Structure 1
Amino acid sequence: MNYTQTLDYLFNALPMFQRVGAAAFKKDLSNTLALCKHLGDPHQRFKSIHVAGTNGKGSSSHALCSVLMQAGYKVGLYTSPHLKSFTERVKINGVEIQEDEVVQFVNENKGFLDELKPSFFEMTVGLAFWYFAKMQVDIAIVEVGMGGRLDSTNVIQPEVCLITNIGYDHMQYLGDTLEAIAGEKAGIIKQNTPVVISQRQAETSHVFNEVARAKKAPIFFAEDYFQIDNISESESGVYRVSQSEDSFVLEMDLKGNYQQKNLSGVLKTLDILRTLGFSFSQSHLQAGLENIVKNTGLKGRWQYLSESPTVLCDTGHNEDGINYILNQLKACSFDKLWMVLGMVNDKDLDKVLSLLPKDANYVFVAAKIPRAMPAATLLELGFQHGLDGIAIDDVNDGLAYAKKNASKDDLIFVGGSTFVVAEINDL
Structure 2
Amino acid sequence: MNYEQVLTYLYERLPMFQRQGKVAFKKDLTNTIALLEALGNPHHRFKSIHIAGTNGKGSSAHAMASILQAAGYKTGLYTSPHLKSFTERVRINGEEVNQDYVASFVTRNTELIEQINPSFFEVTVALSFSYFADQQVDIAVIETGLGGRLDSTNVITPVLSLITMIGFDHADMLGDTLEKIAAEKAGIIKPNIPVIIGADQPDLQHVFRNKAAQVEAPIQFATTRVKSVSESLLEQVFDIKRDQQEDLKSLKTDITARYFLKNLPGIYESIEVLNRNGFSISDEQFRIGLSQVKRTTGLKGRWQILSESPLTIADVSHNEPGLSVLLDQIQAHTSGSLHLIIGMVKDKDVKKVLQILPPDAHYYFTQSDVPRSLSSEDLQRMAGEAGVSGGAFKNVNLAIDEARKNARSSDLILVCGSTFVVAEIEGL
- What band does the TM-score fall into relative to the shorter chain? over 0.9
Does 2:300 align with 1:299? yes
Instruction: Deviation per CA, 1:27-77: give whole Å up to 9, x if none.
Output: 000000000000000011100000000000000000010011011110000
Equivalent residue, structure 2, for 1:145:
145
Match runs of 1:51-130 below 5 Å: 51-130=51-130
- Give me the whole-angstrom Cα distance separating, in 2, the residues matched to 1:327 and 1:390: 23
User: What residue number does 1:239 align with?
Assistant: 238
1:324 matched residue in structure 2? 325
Amino acid at match of 1:279: S
- SS of residue in 2 equivalent to 1:274: helix
Q: Distance in 2 between matches of 1:59 and 1:386?
A: 33
CA displacement at 1:249 relative to structure 2? 1.5
Preserved contact between residue 353 and residue 385 of structure 1 (Cα < 8 Å): yes
In 1: Cα distance, 2:104 partner to 2:354 partner: 45
CA-atom RMSD, angstroms?
1.0
Give the SS at the match of 1:193: coil
Q: Tell me the SS of whatever aligns to 2:203.
A: coil
Distance 2:184 2:158 in 1: 17
Match of 1:360 in 2: 361
CA contact (8 A) 2:231 2:256 kept: no
Distance in 2 between the 1:389 and 1:426 partners?
A: 25
- The code of the aligned residue for 1:44 comes to H
Query: What residue identity is the alignment partner of 2:414?
Result: F
Aligned counterparts of 2:145 and 2:378: Cα–Cα separation in 1: 28
Contact 2:231 2:237 in 1 (8 A): no
Write the distance in 2 (CA, Å) between the matches of 1:258 and 1:313.
Answer: 14
After superposition, the C-alpha distances for 1:142-197 in whole angstroms (9 at most, x for unaligned) are 00001000000000000000000000000000001000000000000000110001
Structure 2, unaligned runs of 5 or more: none
Distance 1:358 1:254 in 2: 28
Partner of 2:383: 382
Moved more, 20-29 or 234-243: 234-243
Structure 2 distance, partners of 1:312, 1:24, is: 31
Q: Which residue of structure 1 aligns with residue 177 of structure 2?
A: 177
Could you tell me how far 1:320 is from its partner in structure 2? 1.1
Tell me how far apart the structure 2 counterparts of residues 269 and 21 of structure 1 sit (CA, whole Å): 32
Q: Which amino acid aligns with 1:26?
A: K
- Cα shift at 1:304: 1.2
Deviation at 1:372, TM superposition (A): 0.5
> Aligned-pair distance for 1:330?
2.5
Contact 1:237 1:259 (8 Å CA) reproduced: no
Amino acid at match of 1:227: R
Contact in 1 for aligned 2:317/2:416 (Cα 8 Å): yes
For the residues of structure 1 that align with 2:299 and 2:141, how far apart are their CA atoms? 14
Question: Which letter maps to 1:5?
Answer: Q
Match of 1:287 in 2: 288
> Against the structure 1 CA distance between its residues 117 and 233, is the aligned structure 2 distance closer, same or farther, given a 3 Å change threshold?
closer
Partner of 2:109, secondary structure, is: helix
2:413 match: 412
Aligned partners of 2:202, 2:240: CA distance in 1, in Å? 24
Give 3-state SS (helix, strand or coil) of 2:267's partner: helix
Instruction: Give me the whole-angstrom Cα distance separating, in 2, the residues matched to 1:329 and 1:293.
Output: 20
Q: CA deviation at 1:200?
A: 2.2
Q: Would the alpha carbon gap of residues 233 and 74 (structure 1) be closer, same or farther in structure 2, given more than 3 Å must change?
A: closer
Q: Following the alignment from structure 1 to structure 2, what is the Cα–Cα distance between the partners of residues 272 and 167?
A: 25
SS at match of 1:77: strand
Q: What is residue 228 of structure 2 aligned with on the other side?
A: 230
Paired AA for residue 331 in structure 1: A
CA–CA separation in structure 2 for the residues paired with 1:183 and 1:327: 30
Q: Which secondary structure state, in structure 2, belongs to the residue aligned with residue 366 of structure 1?
A: coil
Deviation sequence 1:231-277 (CA, Å, 0-9, x none): 12666621111123411211100111111110110111111111111
Q: Find the aligned partners of 1:290 and 1:97 in 2 and give their Cα distance.
A: 24
Code of the residue aligned with 2:272 in structure 1: it is: D
What displacement does 1:333 show?
Answer: 2.3
Amino acid at match of 2:295: K
Structure 1 position 39 matched with structure 2 position 30: no
Alpha-carbon distance in structure 1 between the residues aligned to 2:144 and 2:231: 33
Aligned to 1:163: 163
Distance 1:15 1:423 in 2: 21
Q: In the alignment, what sits opposite 2:22?
A: 22
Aligned residue type for 2:105: F
Quick one: distance in 1 between partners of 2:282 and 2:192?
Answer: 27
**What is the alpha-carbon distance in structure 1 between the residues aligned to residue 176 and residue 426 of structure 2?**
36
Provide the C-alpha distance between the structure 2 equivalents of 1:334 and 1:426, rounded to a whole number of angstroms. Answer: 26
What is the rounded CA distance, in whole Å, between the counterparts of 1:246 and 1:370 in structure 2? 52
Question: Structure 1 residue runs of 4+, over 3 Å off?
Answer: 233-236
Q: Structure 1 pair 136/233, CA: closer, same or farther in 2 (3 Å)? A: closer
Report the TM-score when normalising by structure 2. 0.98
1:193-248 Cα distance to aligned partner (Å, 9 max, x none): 100011121331110011111111111111x2x11001126666211111234112
- The 1-side partners of 2:34 and 2:421 are apart by 34
- Residues in 1 aligned to 2:4 and 2:330: alpha-carbon distance in whole angstroms: 40
SS at match of 1:414: strand
1: CA distance, partners of 2:104 / 2:258: 41
Asked if structure 1 preserves the Cα contact closer than 8 Å seen for 2:179 and 2:207, the reply is yes
User: Any conservation in 2 of the 1:51–1:61 contact (CA below 8 Å)?
Assistant: yes
- Residue 204 of structure 1 aligns to a residue whose secondary structure is helix
CA–CA separation in structure 1 for the residues paired with 2:240 and 2:16: 40
| TM-score with structure 1 setting the length | 0.98
Whole-Å Cα distance in 1 between the matches of residues 212 and 331 of structure 2? 38
Separation in structure 2 between the aligned mates of residue 233 and residue 100 of structure 1, nearest angstrom? 41
Q: Deviations over 1:290-337 (max 9, x none)?
A: 000010010000111111111001101011111121121222223110
Aligned residues with identical type, % of pairs: 52
